[in-house]
Structure 1
Amino acid sequence: MTSSNTFLSRRRWLGVLLLTALLHLLLIVWGSRQFSLPVSVERPEKLVMANIVPLPPVEKPVLLPQVPKAQPKPAPKPSSAVATAKPRAPTEPPVEVPDTPIRETVTPIVDAQPAGPAMADATAGNGASAANPAAEPPVPAAPAEAVPAAGKRYQTSPPPSAELKYNVEALQKGQNYHGSGKITWQTDGANYTINGQAGALFITVLDFKSGGEINGFGVAPVIYTQKRFRKPATETTFDREHNNIVFSSSANKYPRSGGEQDRASVVWQLASIGRGDSAQFSPGAVIDLFVAGPLDAETWRMQVVGQEQLEVDGNNLSVWHVIRIPEPGSHEQRLDIWLSPQQDWYPVRLRFTETDGDYLDMSLSKLKRLDTVLN
């Protein structure tokens, strides 16, 4: 009896415990729903899907000149007249030659003036170009290198020797200065010299010299020197022996083909063109001249603005106004020139304008004729 009661008692307690555990479990579930208790849920990490697109193949440059499409086998060796490009590796596919011939992308400058007599190129007989007179395979020029246009001949007649004195007005860094200048032009018909300077407040702002010959192109410089205030002197040489233009302060080198000018001779070449045939000057006319400075060279497009009335040393003169405006973005100065047909096309006024607005203005104050003896 005792063991039977003990067994029943244990069953009751076990039942009570199970009932209690069940009630607690129900209470927990009910409470989580009533009070929205956060339940920790492990979420899988997000996967980022990406499509890897292959890059396009590298385009290989096409070398000029092209090899003809149809080649007999075995292929002949390239001649000296063709650019010696390195042969491609055998594993690489050959470059297809387009049906349309490939041309260089250099746009030639077209003159607004009617073309004069053609230049007799000294190298035309052996097939060499004016840019490279030696009979060697042509080498593509660097993109930044300017090439002088094949010399156009203008009808020229250089002015007689004279000494020109100028009143100088300058604007430098917001300050106005007044001074004087002088240009001495001398020629005996076969050679010439130019000596010029401009100063303000007893300071020489610009000093330049040019010397050379008078030939079929007109004024043809051989050497040009320039000295600006607080800057070292520079020398530009038009090498006749090697047909090159070289600089003392720069490693640049340009081919010489005839008709090139320096920054002093260009004014007198324009005067020679006007004096040679005034019909070469008309409103809107363009005269292209390859001009070398102290460091490099480029084609200057000289635009004829037209005729203007200008008071020079108390006299009212009819003059031709010619301008050179640099390309947009260039740091070169603008040049304005006024030439007087009534006075043998001498430059009666010059104005050099920098990109920052500073300028040097030279207005003729006295003209003196000189003998033709060169210094």
Structure 2
Amino acid sequence: MNFAAFPGRHGRLVVLCGLSLLLHLLVIALIDMRITEPPPFDGVPGLAVRLVEPAPSAPAPVPGPAPAAEPALSAPTPALTPIEQGPSTAAPAAAPLPATPAEGAEPVQMPSRYRVTVPPSVTLSYEVRTAVGPEGEARLAWETDGVQYRLALDGIAGSIESEGGTDDAGLAPTRASYRQGLGRAGIAFDRERATIVLESLGRSLRDMPGSQDGATVLMQLSGIGLADPDQLQDTVEIYVARASGAAVERYRVLGKEQLATPLGAMEALRLARVAQPGELLMEVWLAPGQGWLPVQLRTTAPDGSTRTQALKGIQRVPAG
């Protein structure tokens, strides 16, 4: 064995170990220097990076209940309160009216529907009298084919001409004309748009199912009696358009009477239109034995004076 070579190899191993140790120390020193003295970023310190993170007071929106700070928006009168309570009653019925309401009229409720049978064509002639005595004559001319109609009324209820048809609420006027002095005032019923146009006043009113004019209201009452007399109890309500406006007219059923007319005695059901103070009171007598036709009308003025038109003749048109 050559022992002379051992020291040489051992020496080289010691040298390599020393170099390795020295290299490790140098690496450790470099790492320590990088940790203790990091090179700065250009212009912005490391903490500036944290400023772009979302602030705790403004978290990203997430589905679910409102954040705790939301109650600060509450007030004694919440902003949503008017919407929750609904629209103002100045425009009745839930939604704004498509037309101007009648003067001084309160929001109205649609009258109950009645079953109606169209009365057959007929011409009625009347005698007009006051407390003093006879005053003249009146006339009601009703012409219909069961669907379309024409009506002319001239008497104590005024001079009115009307034409139209029928629908599921009974008579359905399309036009009416009222005599006023030397002229006439027209009204038009636009059933599709649910409006009534007062042509002489340049105004539009709301229409309602079953609406009538000042002449057809008489024949509508007759048709209600023809369809089912039991409907004529307590109060009958009908929406009526006249030259100056439209409103629900209420006719109180006062009961049956034995009526004396120029045509003879007949049983009739008496109805009285409810009038406001200062208004003209109108009463109507419908005769079951004459097809529920209006055989007598009476008006009472605020001063108590009366005018009555009583049936004196019936001219019926033969069927077919």
TM-score, normalisation: structure 2:
0.66
Q: 1:163 aligned to 2:110?
A: no
Q: CA deviation at 1:358?
A: 4.0
Counterpart position of 2:213: 262
* 1:93-150 deviations in Å (ceiling 9; x for gaps): 874549x9579769x9xxxxxxxxxxxxxxxxxxx968747xxxxx996983455533
Query: Over aligned residue pairs, what C-alpha RMSD do you find?
Result: 3.5
**Matched letter for residue 281 of structure 2:** R
Give the Cα–Cα distance (whole angstroms) in 1 for the partners of residues 187 and 238 of structure 2.
Answer: 16
* Aligned partner of 1:280 among 223, 231, 253: 231
Q: CA deviation at 1:327?
A: 2.3
Determine helix, strand or coil for the equivalent of 1:189: coil
**Matched letter for residue 246 of structure 2:** A
Q: CA deviation at 1:257?
A: 2.9
Counterpart position of 2:315: 368
Alignment of 1:46-65 (within 5 A): none
Determine helix, strand or coil for the equivalent of 2:313: strand
Give the Cα–Cα distance (whole angstroms) in 2 for the partners of residues 289 and 343 of structure 1.
Answer: 22
Q: 1:297 aligned to 2:297?
A: no
Determine helix, strand or coil for the equivalent of 1:250: coil
**Matched letter for residue 223 of structure 1:** R
Give the Cα–Cα distance (whole angstroms) in 2 for the partners of residues 309 and 360 of structure 1.
Answer: 19
Give the Cα–Cα distance (whole angstroms) in 2 for the partners of residues 142 and 348 of structure 1.
Answer: 31
* Aligned partner of 1:347 among 285, 291, 294: 294
* Aligned partner of 1:271 among 222, 231, 244: 222
* 1:192-224 deviations in Å (ceiling 9; x for gaps): 11112238xxxxx94211111121111111111
Unaligned runs of 5+ in 2: 1-65, 68-74
Are the counterparts in 1 of residues 158 and 179 from structure 2 also a CA contact under 8 Å? yes
Unaligned runs of 5+ in 1: 1-71, 74-92, 109-127, 134-138, 200-204
Counterpart position of 2:194: 243
Q: CA deviation at 1:316?
A: 2.1
The structure with the largest helix share of the pair is 2
Q: 1:319 aligned to 2:268?
A: yes
**Matched letter for residue 287 of structure 1:** V
* 1:54-98 deviations in Å (ceiling 9; x for gaps): xxxxxxxxxxxxxxxxxx79xxxxxxxxxxxxxxxxxxx874549
Determine helix, strand or coil for the equivalent of 1:273: helix
Are the counterparts in 1 of residues 178 and 185 from structure 2 also a CA contact under 8 Å? yes
Counterpart position of 2:255: 306
In structure 2, the CA distance between the partners of 1:147 and 1:102, relative to structure 1 (3 Å rule), is closer
Q: CA deviation at 1:354?
A: 2.5
Q: How many residues align?
A: 245
Determine helix, strand or coil for the equivalent of 2:221: helix
**Matched letter for residue 246 of structure 1:** V
In structure 2, the CA distance between the partners of 1:140 and 1:177, relative to structure 1 (3 Å rule), is closer
Counterpart position of 1:187: 144
Alignment of 1:28-67 (within 5 A): none
Counterpart position of 1:337: 284
Q: CA deviation at 1:179?
A: 0.5
Are the counterparts in 2 of residues 163 and 183 from structure 1 also a CA contact under 8 Å? yes
Give the Cα–Cα distance (whole angstroms) in 2 for the partners of residues 274 and 196 of structure 1.
Answer: 20
**Matched letter for residue 317 of structure 1:** M
Give the Cα–Cα distance (whole angstroms) in 2 for the partners of residues 367 and 314 of structure 1.
Answer: 9
TM-score, normalisation: structure 1:
0.57
Counterpart position of 2:6: none
Q: CA deviation at 1:279?
A: 1.1
Q: CA deviation at 1:168?
A: 0.7
Are the counterparts in 2 of residues 193 and 212 from structure 1 also a CA contact under 8 Å? yes
**Matched letter for residue 247 of structure 2:** E
Q: CA deviation at 1:334?
A: 1.2
Q: 1:217 aligned to 2:169?
A: yes
Determine helix, strand or coil for the equivalent of 1:222: strand
Are the counterparts in 1 of residues 208 and 239 from structure 2 also a CA contact under 8 Å? no
Counterpart position of 1:150: 110
Q: 1:198 aligned to 2:150?
A: no
Are the counterparts in 2 of residues 148 and 260 from structure 1 also a CA contact under 8 Å? no
Determine helix, strand or coil for the equivalent of 1:266: helix
Q: CA deviation at 1:290?
A: 0.9
Determine helix, strand or coil for the equivalent of 1:297: strand
